């Protein structure tokens, strides 16, 4: 449910110096039920966070993933087929 701009902003703010491979996932939010929570993180914008049915850490179920794309960094911008 995050916009492309929101994804880019999150990547720039939290993952710019990451050395590991990063993947962007397109998720079917309806399959996550109550484990998906939208939280306000900067006073005005809300972002989806997945905690699982018990509201504590839970791995994301693979059946919720609809598409995945590897992210690359070029010219200070993250690129991915899912962002085109």
Averaged pLDDT, 17-31: 93
pLDDT at residue 65, rounded to an integer: 97
pLDDT at residue 42, rounded to an integer: 78
Averaged pLDDT, 33-52: 86
For the chain, give the mean pLDDT: 89
Domains of the chain by start residue, with CATH: 4-83 (3.20.170.20)
- Does position 2 have pLDDT exceeding 80, yes or no? no
- Does position 62 have pLDDT exceeding 80, yes or no? yes
pTM for the model: 0.81
pLDDT at residue 1, rounded to an integer: 57
Q: What are phi and psi of 71, to 5 degrees?
A: -90, 145
Higher pLDDT, 28 or 45: 28
């Amino acid at each position: 449910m995050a916009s492309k701009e929101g994804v880019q902003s999150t990547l720039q703010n939290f993952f710019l110096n990451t050395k590991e491979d990063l993947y962007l996932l397109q998720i079917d939010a309806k399959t996550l039920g109550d484990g998906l929570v939208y939280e306000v993180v900067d006073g005005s914008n809300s972002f989806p966070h997945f905690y699982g049915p018990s509201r504590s850490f839970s791995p994301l179920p693979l059946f919720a993933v609809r598409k995945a794309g590897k992210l690359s960094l070029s010219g200070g911008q993250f690129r991915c087929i899912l962002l085109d």
